[in-house]
Structure 1
Protein backbone atom coordinates (compact mmCIF):
# COMPACT_ATOMS: atom_id res chain seq x y z
CA UNK A 1 0.00 0.00 0.00
CA UNK A 2 2.32 2.70 -1.24
CA UNK A 3 -0.29 5.12 -2.57
CA UNK A 4 -1.96 7.63 -0.32
CA UNK A 5 -5.41 6.40 -1.38
CA UNK A 6 -6.56 2.83 -1.98
CA UNK A 7 -10.08 2.27 -3.35
CA UNK A 8 -11.18 -1.31 -2.72
CA UNK A 9 -13.07 -2.21 -5.88
CA UNK A 10 -13.81 -5.83 -4.96
CA UNK A 11 -17.20 -6.82 -6.44
CA UNK A 12 -18.65 -7.80 -3.04
CA UNK A 13 -17.61 -4.46 -1.53
CA UNK A 14 -19.17 -2.51 -4.40
CA UNK A 15 -22.39 -4.56 -4.36
CA UNK A 16 -22.89 -4.13 -0.60
CA UNK A 17 -22.09 -0.42 -0.83
CA UNK A 18 -24.78 0.07 -3.49
CA UNK A 19 -27.41 -1.45 -1.20
CA UNK A 20 -26.20 0.76 1.66
CA UNK A 21 -26.53 3.89 -0.49
CA UNK A 22 -30.18 3.07 -1.30
CA UNK A 23 -32.37 5.21 0.98
CA UNK A 24 -34.93 2.38 1.22
CA UNK A 25 -32.45 0.08 3.02
CA UNK A 26 -33.57 -0.43 6.62
CA UNK A 27 -31.56 0.47 9.71
CA UNK A 28 -31.04 -3.24 10.47
CA UNK A 29 -29.95 -3.90 6.90
CA UNK A 30 -27.60 -0.92 6.87
CA UNK A 31 -26.00 -2.03 10.13
CA UNK A 32 -25.53 -5.61 8.91
CA UNK A 33 -24.04 -4.48 5.61
CA UNK A 34 -21.66 -2.09 7.35
CA UNK A 35 -20.36 -4.93 9.51
CA UNK A 36 -19.95 -7.17 6.44
CA UNK A 37 -18.22 -4.53 4.33
CA UNK A 38 -15.88 -3.62 7.19
CA UNK A 39 -14.63 -7.21 7.26
CA UNK A 40 -13.76 -6.99 3.57
CA UNK A 41 -12.09 -3.57 3.95
CA UNK A 42 -10.12 -4.87 6.94
CA UNK A 43 -8.34 -7.38 4.69
CA UNK A 44 -6.93 -4.50 2.65
CA UNK A 45 -6.01 -2.15 5.50
CA UNK A 46 -4.12 -4.92 7.38
CA UNK A 47 -2.23 -6.12 4.30
CA UNK A 48 1.09 -4.80 5.66
CA UNK A 49 0.95 -6.21 9.17
CA UNK A 50 4.38 -7.52 10.14
CA UNK A 51 4.89 -11.27 10.21
CA UNK A 52 7.38 -13.49 11.99
CA UNK A 53 7.51 -17.29 12.26
CA UNK A 54 6.83 -19.84 14.95
CA UNK A 55 7.35 -23.60 15.13
CA UNK A 56 4.17 -25.65 15.43
CA UNK A 57 3.19 -29.29 15.24
CA UNK A 58 0.56 -30.14 12.63
CA UNK A 59 -1.20 -33.55 12.73
CA UNK A 60 1.39 -34.64 10.17
CA UNK A 61 4.70 -33.07 11.23
CA UNK A 62 6.52 -30.09 12.73
CA UNK A 63 6.68 -26.94 10.61
CA UNK A 64 7.79 -23.32 10.74
CA UNK A 65 4.69 -21.19 10.08
CA UNK A 66 3.92 -17.46 9.78
CA UNK A 67 2.36 -15.55 12.67
CA UNK A 68 1.76 -11.89 13.46
CA UNK A 69 4.68 -10.05 14.99
CA UNK A 70 4.83 -7.32 17.60
CA UNK A 71 2.19 -5.60 19.69
CA UNK A 72 -1.50 -6.13 18.96
CA UNK A 73 -2.78 -3.49 16.55
CA UNK A 74 -4.93 -0.60 17.76
CA UNK A 75 -8.34 0.26 16.36
CA UNK A 76 -9.49 3.82 16.98
CA UNK A 77 -13.14 4.67 16.39
CA UNK A 78 -14.16 8.26 15.69
CA UNK A 79 -17.45 8.38 17.59
CA UNK A 80 -20.14 7.63 16.98
CA UNK A 81 -20.33 6.31 13.42
CA UNK A 82 -16.87 4.73 13.57
CA UNK A 83 -18.23 2.04 15.88
CA UNK A 84 -20.12 0.41 13.02
CA UNK A 85 -16.90 -0.19 11.09
CA UNK A 86 -14.99 -1.19 14.20
CA UNK A 87 -17.45 -3.95 15.15
CA UNK A 88 -16.82 -5.81 11.91
CA UNK A 89 -13.05 -5.47 12.10
CA UNK A 90 -13.06 -6.83 15.67
CA UNK A 91 -14.71 -10.00 14.37
CA UNK A 92 -11.64 -10.46 12.16
CA UNK A 93 -9.07 -9.26 14.72
CA UNK A 94 -10.61 -9.90 18.16
CA UNK A 95 -7.34 -9.32 20.03
CA UNK A 96 -6.95 -5.72 18.77
CA UNK A 97 -6.73 -2.94 21.33
CA UNK A 98 -9.55 -0.41 21.01
CA UNK A 99 -9.70 3.34 21.51
CA UNK A 100 -12.30 6.06 21.00
CA UNK A 101 -12.10 9.69 19.97
CA UNK A 102 -15.28 11.72 20.34
CA UNK A 103 -15.64 14.52 17.79
CA UNK A 104 -18.66 16.35 16.51
CA UNK A 105 -18.79 18.79 13.62
CA UNK A 106 -19.88 22.33 14.41
CA UNK A 107 -22.76 22.92 11.95
CA UNK A 108 -21.73 26.53 11.37
CA UNK A 109 -17.97 26.26 10.96
CA UNK A 110 -17.80 22.56 9.93
CA UNK A 111 -14.80 22.34 12.30
CA UNK A 112 -14.39 19.37 14.69
CA UNK A 113 -14.99 19.79 18.40
CA UNK A 114 -13.48 17.12 20.66
CA UNK A 115 -15.50 15.86 23.62
CA UNK A 116 -13.84 12.51 24.48
CA UNK A 117 -10.58 10.60 24.05
CA UNK A 118 -9.44 7.23 25.41
CA UNK A 119 -6.77 5.36 23.45
CA UNK A 120 -4.56 2.29 24.09
CA UNK A 121 -1.04 2.64 25.46
CA UNK A 122 2.19 2.02 23.54
CA UNK A 123 0.77 3.38 20.28
CA UNK A 124 4.34 3.91 19.08
CA UNK A 125 4.68 0.10 18.90
CA UNK A 126 1.36 -0.69 17.22
CA UNK A 127 -0.15 -0.34 13.78
CA UNK A 128 -3.02 2.07 14.47
CA UNK A 129 -6.13 1.98 12.28
CA UNK A 130 -8.51 4.93 12.54
CA UNK A 131 -12.07 4.14 11.43
CA UNK A 132 -14.88 6.49 10.40
CA UNK A 133 -17.41 5.68 7.66
CA UNK A 134 -17.24 9.10 6.00
CA UNK A 135 -14.18 11.13 4.99
CA UNK A 136 -16.02 14.34 4.06
CA UNK A 137 -14.28 17.65 4.78
CA UNK A 138 -11.40 15.75 6.41
CA UNK A 139 -11.35 18.10 9.40
CA UNK A 140 -12.41 15.49 11.99
CA UNK A 141 -10.03 12.89 10.57
CA UNK A 142 -7.09 15.30 10.63
CA UNK A 143 -7.93 16.30 14.22
CA UNK A 144 -8.13 12.66 15.33
CA UNK A 145 -4.81 11.78 13.74
CA UNK A 146 -3.19 14.90 15.23
CA UNK A 147 -4.27 13.63 18.65
CA UNK A 148 -3.01 10.09 17.99
CA UNK A 149 0.37 11.32 16.81
CA UNK A 150 0.63 13.38 20.00
CA UNK A 151 -0.08 10.11 21.88
CA UNK A 152 2.88 8.49 20.09
CA UNK A 153 1.31 6.71 17.10
CA UNK A 154 3.68 6.42 14.15
CA UNK A 155 2.27 3.66 11.92
CA UNK A 156 -1.22 4.91 11.07
CA UNK A 157 -3.94 3.95 8.57
CA UNK A 158 -7.32 5.56 7.94
CA UNK A 159 -10.25 3.33 6.97
CA UNK A 160 -13.54 4.73 5.67
CA UNK A 161 -16.53 3.63 3.66
CA UNK A 162 -16.78 6.74 1.47
CA UNK A 163 -14.32 9.53 0.75
CA UNK A 164 -14.63 12.90 -0.99
CA UNK A 165 -11.83 14.40 -3.11
CA UNK A 166 -11.80 17.37 -0.69
CA UNK A 167 -11.33 15.09 2.32
CA UNK A 168 -8.57 13.08 0.65
CA UNK A 169 -6.74 16.30 -0.31
CA UNK A 170 -7.08 17.68 3.24
CA UNK A 171 -5.69 14.47 4.73
CA UNK A 172 -2.84 14.32 2.24
CA UNK A 173 -1.90 17.90 3.05
CA UNK A 174 -1.97 17.39 6.83
CA UNK A 175 -0.85 13.75 7.09
CA UNK A 176 0.82 12.55 3.87
CA UNK A 177 2.25 9.59 5.80
CA UNK A 178 -1.21 8.13 6.58
CA UNK A 179 -2.63 5.87 3.83
CA UNK A 180 -6.40 5.95 3.27
CA UNK A 181 -8.40 2.83 2.43
CA UNK A 182 -11.98 3.34 1.21
CA UNK A 183 -14.72 1.57 -0.71
CA UNK A 184 -15.44 4.57 -2.97
CA UNK A 185 -14.23 8.03 -3.90
CA UNK A 186 -17.42 10.06 -4.48
CA UNK A 187 -18.01 13.25 -6.50
CA UNK A 188 -17.61 15.84 -3.77
CA UNK A 189 -19.35 17.75 -0.98
CA UNK A 190 -22.60 19.71 -0.92
CA UNK A 191 -23.02 23.12 0.75
CA UNK A 192 -23.53 21.44 4.13
CA UNK A 193 -20.31 19.42 3.91
CA UNK A 194 -22.04 16.11 3.17
CA UNK A 195 -20.64 13.66 0.63
CA UNK A 196 -22.61 13.40 -2.64
CA UNK A 197 -23.99 11.15 -3.97
CA UNK A 198 -23.01 9.55 -0.66
CA UNK A 199 -25.43 7.64 1.55
CA UNK A 200 -26.68 10.30 3.95
CA UNK A 201 -25.58 10.52 7.58
CA UNK A 202 -23.93 7.18 8.40
CA UNK A 203 -24.55 7.51 12.14
CA UNK A 204 -28.25 8.27 11.71
CA UNK A 205 -28.72 5.40 9.26
CA UNK A 206 -26.80 2.98 11.51
CA UNK A 207 -28.55 3.87 14.76
CA UNK A 208 -31.99 4.87 13.44
CA UNK A 209 -31.73 8.47 14.62
CA UNK A 210 -32.46 11.75 12.88
Structure 2
Protein backbone atom coordinates (compact mmCIF):
# COMPACT_ATOMS: atom_id res chain seq x y z
CA UNK A 1 0.00 0.00 0.00
CA UNK A 2 1.33 3.44 -0.91
CA UNK A 3 1.83 5.86 1.94
CA UNK A 4 -0.91 8.44 2.46
CA UNK A 5 -0.11 12.05 1.69
CA UNK A 6 1.67 14.50 3.97
CA UNK A 7 0.13 17.94 3.58
CA UNK A 8 2.10 20.96 4.77
CA UNK A 9 -0.32 23.81 5.45
CA UNK A 10 1.54 26.85 4.13
CA UNK A 11 -1.22 29.42 4.62
CA UNK A 12 0.39 32.74 5.65
CA UNK A 13 -1.69 32.99 8.84
CA UNK A 14 -0.62 29.51 9.92
CA UNK A 15 3.04 30.20 9.19
CA UNK A 16 2.94 33.58 10.98
CA UNK A 17 1.32 32.09 14.08
CA UNK A 18 3.76 29.19 14.07
CA UNK A 19 6.64 31.68 14.21
CA UNK A 20 4.99 33.35 17.21
CA UNK A 21 4.75 29.97 18.95
CA UNK A 22 8.39 29.09 18.28
CA UNK A 23 9.57 32.24 20.10
CA UNK A 24 10.86 31.15 23.51
CA UNK A 25 9.70 34.49 24.99
CA UNK A 26 6.03 33.72 24.27
CA UNK A 27 4.00 33.65 27.50
CA UNK A 28 2.02 30.60 28.60
CA UNK A 29 -1.22 32.50 28.00
CA UNK A 30 -0.06 33.62 24.57
CA UNK A 31 1.09 30.12 23.63
CA UNK A 32 -2.29 28.59 24.52
CA UNK A 33 -4.20 31.29 22.67
CA UNK A 34 -2.17 31.01 19.46
CA UNK A 35 -2.23 27.21 19.53
CA UNK A 36 -6.02 27.44 19.79
CA UNK A 37 -6.11 29.77 16.77
CA UNK A 38 -3.87 27.48 14.71
CA UNK A 39 -6.13 24.56 15.65
CA UNK A 40 -9.04 26.39 14.05
CA UNK A 41 -7.05 27.09 10.88
CA UNK A 42 -5.81 23.49 10.60
CA UNK A 43 -9.38 22.21 11.08
CA UNK A 44 -10.41 24.27 8.07
CA UNK A 45 -7.71 22.60 5.95
CA UNK A 46 -8.14 19.01 7.15
CA UNK A 47 -11.91 19.06 6.55
CA UNK A 48 -11.68 20.57 3.07
CA UNK A 49 -12.70 17.35 1.30
CA UNK A 50 -15.50 16.15 3.58
CA UNK A 51 -18.42 14.78 1.55
CA UNK A 52 -21.51 16.96 1.06
CA UNK A 53 -25.16 16.09 0.53
CA UNK A 54 -28.02 18.27 -0.66
CA UNK A 55 -30.97 19.02 1.63
CA UNK A 56 -34.15 21.00 1.21
CA UNK A 57 -34.39 24.23 3.23
CA UNK A 58 -36.34 27.47 3.11
CA UNK A 59 -34.53 30.80 3.15
CA UNK A 60 -36.48 33.94 4.09
CA UNK A 61 -37.02 34.35 0.34
CA UNK A 62 -37.76 30.89 -1.07
CA UNK A 63 -37.25 27.13 -0.85
CA UNK A 64 -33.96 25.76 -2.19
CA UNK A 65 -31.64 22.77 -2.29
CA UNK A 66 -28.47 23.49 -0.26
CA UNK A 67 -25.30 21.56 0.66
CA UNK A 68 -24.48 20.25 4.12
CA UNK A 69 -21.84 17.84 5.41
CA UNK A 70 -22.93 14.25 4.91
CA UNK A 71 -22.70 11.42 7.43
CA UNK A 72 -22.18 11.36 11.17
CA UNK A 73 -20.40 14.07 13.12
CA UNK A 74 -16.61 13.95 13.27
CA UNK A 75 -14.58 12.72 16.23
CA UNK A 76 -11.74 14.88 17.56
CA UNK A 77 -9.19 12.66 19.32
CA UNK A 78 -6.50 14.67 21.14
CA UNK A 79 -3.48 12.87 22.55
CA UNK A 80 -3.13 14.12 26.13
CA UNK A 81 -1.83 16.56 27.21
CA UNK A 82 -0.80 18.80 24.39
CA UNK A 83 -3.39 17.62 21.87
CA UNK A 84 -6.08 19.41 23.86
CA UNK A 85 -4.51 22.69 22.76
CA UNK A 86 -6.24 22.23 19.39
CA UNK A 87 -9.65 21.36 20.82
CA UNK A 88 -11.29 24.72 21.52
CA UNK A 89 -10.38 26.13 18.13
CA UNK A 90 -11.63 23.06 16.30
CA UNK A 91 -14.80 22.79 18.37
CA UNK A 92 -15.61 26.42 17.59
CA UNK A 93 -15.88 25.34 13.93
CA UNK A 94 -17.39 21.92 14.62
CA UNK A 95 -19.38 22.29 17.84
CA UNK A 96 -21.26 19.02 17.34
CA UNK A 97 -18.11 16.92 16.98
CA UNK A 98 -17.60 14.06 19.42
CA UNK A 99 -14.40 14.04 21.48
CA UNK A 100 -12.22 11.04 22.29
CA UNK A 101 -9.38 11.30 24.83
CA UNK A 102 -6.17 9.32 24.46
CA UNK A 103 -3.81 9.37 27.44
CA UNK A 104 -0.22 8.55 26.47
CA UNK A 105 3.09 9.62 27.91
CA UNK A 106 6.55 9.17 26.48
CA UNK A 107 8.89 7.04 28.56
CA UNK A 108 11.97 9.26 29.03
CA UNK A 109 14.38 6.36 28.62
CA UNK A 110 12.92 4.34 25.76
CA UNK A 111 10.89 7.20 24.17
CA UNK A 112 8.09 4.63 23.71
CA UNK A 113 4.45 5.61 24.26
CA UNK A 114 2.78 4.32 27.45
CA UNK A 115 -1.04 4.28 27.64
CA UNK A 116 -2.77 5.49 30.81
CA UNK A 117 -6.26 6.50 29.59
CA UNK A 118 -8.54 5.90 26.61
CA UNK A 119 -12.17 6.95 26.14
CA UNK A 120 -13.91 7.19 22.77
CA UNK A 121 -17.38 7.03 21.18
CA UNK A 122 -18.60 3.51 20.47
CA UNK A 123 -19.31 4.03 16.76
CA UNK A 124 -15.88 5.09 15.50
CA UNK A 125 -16.29 2.92 12.40
CA UNK A 126 -18.99 5.30 11.15
CA UNK A 127 -17.09 8.54 11.73
CA UNK A 128 -14.09 10.47 10.44
CA UNK A 129 -11.55 10.73 13.28
CA UNK A 130 -9.05 13.58 13.55
CA UNK A 131 -6.12 12.56 15.76
CA UNK A 132 -4.60 15.67 17.34
CA UNK A 133 -1.11 16.24 18.72
CA UNK A 134 0.97 19.40 18.17
CA UNK A 135 4.23 17.47 17.82
CA UNK A 136 4.99 14.48 15.58
CA UNK A 137 8.48 13.73 16.92
CA UNK A 138 9.42 10.03 17.11
CA UNK A 139 5.94 9.06 15.91
CA UNK A 140 5.57 6.51 18.73
CA UNK A 141 2.65 8.25 20.44
CA UNK A 142 0.85 8.93 17.16
CA UNK A 143 1.20 5.30 16.05
CA UNK A 144 0.07 4.01 19.45
CA UNK A 145 -2.97 6.33 19.49
CA UNK A 146 -4.01 5.20 16.01
CA UNK A 147 -3.57 1.57 17.08
CA UNK A 148 -6.05 2.15 19.91
CA UNK A 149 -8.56 3.88 17.65
CA UNK A 150 -8.35 1.21 14.97
CA UNK A 151 -8.84 -1.48 17.61
CA UNK A 152 -12.13 0.26 18.43
CA UNK A 153 -13.18 0.17 14.78
CA UNK A 154 -11.97 3.51 13.39
CA UNK A 155 -11.28 3.34 9.66
CA UNK A 156 -11.20 6.93 8.38
CA UNK A 157 -8.40 8.61 10.35
CA UNK A 158 -6.43 11.80 9.78
CA UNK A 159 -3.47 12.95 11.86
CA UNK A 160 -3.14 16.68 12.56
CA UNK A 161 -0.04 18.25 14.08
CA UNK A 162 1.73 21.57 14.27
CA UNK A 163 5.29 20.37 13.75
CA UNK A 164 6.69 17.12 12.39
CA UNK A 165 10.17 15.63 12.27
CA UNK A 166 11.15 13.53 9.25
CA UNK A 167 11.72 10.58 11.60
CA UNK A 168 8.17 10.85 12.96
CA UNK A 169 6.64 11.13 9.51
CA UNK A 170 8.54 8.03 8.36
CA UNK A 171 7.55 6.03 11.45
CA UNK A 172 3.87 6.95 11.23
CA UNK A 173 3.73 6.21 7.51
CA UNK A 174 5.41 2.85 8.07
CA UNK A 175 3.02 1.96 10.91
CA UNK A 176 -0.17 3.37 9.36
CA UNK A 177 0.32 4.03 5.64
CA UNK A 178 -3.40 4.67 5.22
CA UNK A 179 -3.48 7.69 7.57
CA UNK A 180 -2.75 11.09 5.95
CA UNK A 181 -0.84 13.74 7.90
CA UNK A 182 -1.50 17.48 8.09
CA UNK A 183 1.22 19.69 9.57
CA UNK A 184 2.33 23.32 9.50
CA UNK A 185 6.01 22.40 9.13
CA UNK A 186 8.40 19.50 8.69
CA UNK A 187 11.46 20.54 10.68
CA UNK A 188 15.07 19.39 10.36
CA UNK A 189 15.51 16.40 12.70
CA UNK A 190 15.24 15.01 16.23
CA UNK A 191 17.93 15.64 18.82
CA UNK A 192 19.30 13.01 21.22
CA UNK A 193 16.40 13.62 23.62
CA UNK A 194 13.73 13.08 20.96
CA UNK A 195 12.87 16.77 20.59
CA UNK A 196 12.16 18.35 17.22
CA UNK A 197 14.88 20.74 15.96
CA UNK A 198 14.49 23.71 15.67
CA UNK A 199 11.01 22.98 17.02
CA UNK A 200 9.41 24.94 19.83
CA UNK A 201 10.27 22.91 22.92
CA UNK A 202 7.75 20.79 24.81
CA UNK A 203 4.28 21.92 23.69
CA UNK A 204 2.56 20.53 26.79
CA UNK A 205 4.93 22.30 29.18
CA UNK A 206 4.61 25.55 27.30
CA UNK A 207 0.81 25.30 27.27
CA UNK A 208 0.49 24.67 30.97
CA UNK A 209 3.53 26.40 32.43
CA UNK A 210 5.11 23.16 33.69
CA UNK A 211 8.61 21.78 33.42
Scaled by the length of structure 2, the TM-score of the pair is 0.97
Q: How far does residue 4 in structure 1 lie from its aligned partner after superposition?
A: 1.7
The answer to whether structure 1 residue 132 and structure 2 residue 138 are counterparts is no
Deviations 1:57-77 (A, max 9, x none): 112211100011111110101
State how far apart, in whole Å, the 1-side matches of 2:142 and 2:87 are. Answer: 15
Q: Partner residue of 1:55?
A: 56
Q: CA deviation at 1:114?
A: 0.3
Match status 1:186 vs 2:187? yes
Q: Distance in 2 between matches of 1:3 and 1:106?
A: 28
Distance, in Å, in 1 between the alignment partners of 2:31 and 2:13 is: 15
SS in 1 for 2:162: strand
Q: Structure 1 length as normaliser, TM-score?
A: 0.98
Please list every run of 5 or more consecutive structure 1 residues that lacks an aligned counterpart in the other structure.
Answer: none
Aligned positions of 1:12-51 closer than 5 A: 12-51=13-52
Aligned to 2:68: 67
Q: Is the 8 A contact 2:4 2:173 kept in 1?
A: no
CA contact 2:4–2:178 (8 Å) conserved in 1: no
Cα distance in 2 for residues equivalent to 1:121 and 1:183: 31
- The residue aligned with 1:174 is 175
1:87 offset after TM fit, Å? 1.8
Residue 205, structure 1, aligned to residue 206, structure 2: yes
The structural deviation recorded for 1:3 is 5.1
- The answer to whether the Cα contact below 8 Å between 1:164 and 1:187 also exists between their aligned partners in 2 is yes
In the TM superposition, structure 1's runs of 4+ consecutive aligned residues that sit over 2 Å from their partners are none
CA RMSD of aligned residues (A): 1.0
Q: Is the 8 A contact 1:49 1:127 kept in 2?
A: no
The answer on whether the counterparts of 1:76 and 1:98 sit within 8 Å (CA) in structure 2 is yes
